[in-house]
Structure 1
Amino acid sequence: MERYLGDEAATVAAGRALGQAAQGGAVMFLQGDLGAGKTTLSRGVLRAFGHSGAVKSPTYTLVEPYEFEPTPVYHFDLYRLGDPEELEYMGIRDYFTGQCVCLVEWPSRGEGYLPVADVVVTLTAKPPGRHLSVLAQTPRGQSLVDALVFEK
């Protein structure tokens, strides 16, 4: 599934659509260059779960938990990860229960320690906006893609 997002509001709306489609849980890898809109998209996903506060990228803490019922959301940013093995020490496997949504920015930095993503979301700058690509990698991911409904 591909879509052009003309501005920040469209990126948040696309994230909200992803969040609504992932209410039962999903692992989403978020790919794109610095400034591509990964955290903005994450803000939209969190809005779908009812979060109205600020959303910052957890660059230094590696993970920011959002405890929603019944589906918690964990926002990871692995950009500053020195060694993927550090994920093992932080108990990374405890986050991927199948009953939560895990948003993982810079997933290549955790290769070998992360599960297979249900969907890979790629954002590419295409001024004045960005291009969104959502690729299903599992049956759960395909169900998520099939359930996507974007605002007009």
Structure 2
Amino acid sequence: MASNICAELRAGLTTSDAAATRAAAAALASELPDDTVLALHGDLGVGKTTFVQGLAAGLGIQDPVTSPTFNLYTLYEEGPRRLLHLDAYRLDNEDQVEALMLEDFLVSPWIAAIEWPERIPGWLPTNTWHLDLGITPDQRHTLRLR
């Protein structure tokens, strides 16, 4: 993936398989500033967790990445930057995020990838990066950085 991944994602990128989605995410990982929240928008099955798997690989994280739906979040610490993966689907409001005390785990440098960010809009900082994920009728994945 070219180093102009941000421009490609802003223009809208379509991937043909999970490996290509992971590759785009891995390329983006090196472009994200330290201490960044990345909000992943999209319906169920569009590849949000697949994207986080690529992000983790790009951050040098070797641990397997799975959806934290039942745990709500997973913290990966083995790369040069911590990766916090939060699935906010089961959260009803920002107070529930505060109760998780995630800030205690966000020791710089970190990246936080948030699935279902629309559930907790008030918790997201103003400098949050937003990525829209979708799927085409022929099962290709679309990625667009806002």
Shorter chain as denominator, the TM-score bin is 0.7 to 0.9
Counterpart CA distance in 2 for 1:73 and 1:128 is 28
Q: Which residue of 1 aligns with 2:70?
A: 60
**Structure 1 position 60, deviation (Å):** 1.4
Aligned partner letter, 2:115: E
After TM superposition, the runs of 4+ consecutive aligned structure 1 residues lying more than 4 A away are 95-98
1:73 aligned counterpart, secondary structure:
strand
Q: Which residue of 1 aligns with 2:94?
A: 84
Select the residue among 129, 139, 142 that pairs with 1:128. 139
Alignment CA distance shift 1:97-1:54 (3 Å): closer
| Segment of structure 1 superposing worse, 12-21 or 61-70 | 61-70
Superposed CA RMSD: 1.9
**Structure 1 position 111, deviation (Å):** 2.1
Aligned partner letter, 2:135: A
Select the residue among 52, 55, 71 that pairs with 1:42. 52
Q: How does 1:3-152 map to 2 (within 5 A)?
A: 3-22=13-32, 24-68=34-78, 70-95=80-105, 99-126=109-136, 127-135=138-146
Counterpart CA distance in 2 for 1:23 and 1:112 is 21
2:98 aligned counterpart, secondary structure:
helix
In structure 2, the gaps of 5 or more residues are: 1-9
Alignment CA distance shift 1:69-1:43 (3 Å): closer
In structure 1, the gaps of 5 or more residues are: 136-152
| Segment of structure 1 superposing worse, 33-42 or 23-32 | 23-32
Residue 92 of structure 2 contacts residue 120 of structure 2 at CA under 8 Å; is this kept in 1?
Answer: no
TM-score, length basis structure 1: 0.79
TM-score, length basis structure 2: 0.82
Aligned pairs, number: 135
Q: Identical aligned pairs, as a percentage?
A: 33
Counterpart CA distance in 2 for 1:117 and 1:30 is 14
Alignment CA distance shift 1:96-1:52 (3 Å): closer
Q: Which residue of 2 aligns with 1:147?
A: none
**Structure 1 position 56, deviation (Å):** 0.6
